């Protein structure tokens, strides 16, 4: 093998690596799904906490159970619409983002499983107490996941979303114990997860290679 041929091969591999590193993130459909659903769930929690529609405290348990079923069911359906051959699927950014969000999802599942069980076990006015700290926890997990994904992939959208979610944790802690915290959770989930997800979805390559 000639020196020129070896140099060309190394240049080709370097170009491929750089293209993979800068490949667009492909998790937009999942971010928009979970972000939109979480926004609606927090609005629903606010409505129940405010006593709207005459709903009893047990409604917290049923609503968040529905959130889990719909969320997971929709997530699995979206996986079927995601072709593994999409360009950039094996890039470092996409692999790290996938692993980070897998850990985030498992953490939030454990948290809400405990809160839902508490709500079913306690049908009194304190049935929703297990969810009290959910907004700071959720926003912190969202922020860390978005920031990590954004910094690894070089995505300015996700980096800003991550910092925004993290910054909102202070306000969430301050408002915890008031019904306004649920509106804050809905707003931040919409702005830092749903909206960035839609933007990423628009930037996904539509053709396979």
Domain count, the chain: 1
- Tell me, yes or no, whether 114 lies in a domain: yes
pLDDT of residue 83: 66
- Tell me, yes or no, whether 1 lies in a domain: no
- Tell me, yes or no, whether 130 lies in a domain: yes
- Tell me, yes or no, whether 21 lies in a domain: no
pLDDT of residue 13: 41
pLDDT of residue 21: 53
- Tell me, yes or no, whether 184 lies in a domain: yes
Residues 6+ apart with CB under 8 A from 119: 57, 58, 60, 61, 64, 127, 128, 130, 131
**Predicted model pTM:** 0.82
Residue 22's φ and ψ, nearest 5 degrees, are -95, 10
- Tell me, yes or no, whether 104 lies in a domain: yes
- Tell me, yes or no, whether 16 lies in a domain: no
pLDDT of residue 7: 60
pLDDT of residue 12: 45
**Which range marks the domain in which residue 128 is found?**
34-202
DSSP the chain: --HHHHHHHHHHHHHHHHHHHTPPP--HHHHHHHHHHHHHHHHHHHHHHTTGGG--TTHHHHHHHHHHHHHHHHHHHHHHTS-TTSTTTTSHHHHHHHHHHHHHHHHHHHHHHHHHHHHHH--STTGGGGGTTHHHHHHHHHHHHHHHHHHHHT-HHHHHHHHHHHHHHHHHHHHTTSTHHHHHHHHHHIIIIIHHHHHHHHHS--S--
Mark the ranges of the chain whose per-residue pLDDT is less than 50: 10, 12-20, 208-209
Mean pLDDT of the chain: 85
- Tell me, yes or no, whether 15 lies in a domain: no
């Amino acid at each position: 093998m000639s020196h020129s041929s070896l140099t060309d091969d190394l240049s080709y591999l370097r170009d491929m690596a750089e293209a993979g590193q800068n490949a667009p993130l492909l998790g937009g459909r999942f971010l928009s799904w979970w972000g939109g659903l979480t926004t609606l769930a927090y609005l629903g929690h606010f409505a129940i906490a405010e006593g709207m529609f005459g709903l009893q405290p047990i409604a917290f348990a049923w609503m968040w159970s529905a959130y889990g079923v719909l969320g997971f069911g929709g997530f699995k359906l979206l996986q079927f619409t995601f072709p593994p051959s999409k360009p950039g699927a094996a890039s470092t950014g996409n692999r790290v983002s996938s692993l980070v969000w897998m850990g985030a999802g498992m953490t939030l599942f454990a948290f809400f499983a405990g809160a839902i069980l508490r709500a079913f076990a306690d049908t009194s006015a304190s049935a929703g107490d297990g969810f009290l700290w959910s907004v700071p926890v959720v926003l912190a997990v969202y922020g860390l996941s978005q920031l990590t994904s954004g910094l690894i992939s070089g995505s300015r959208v996700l980096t800003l979303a991550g910092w925004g979610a993290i910054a909102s944790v202070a306000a969430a802690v301050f408002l915890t114990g008031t019904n306004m915290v649920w509106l804050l959770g809905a707003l931040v989930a919409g702005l830092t997860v749903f909206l960035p997800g839609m933007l990423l979805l628009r930037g996904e390559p539509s053709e396979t290679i």
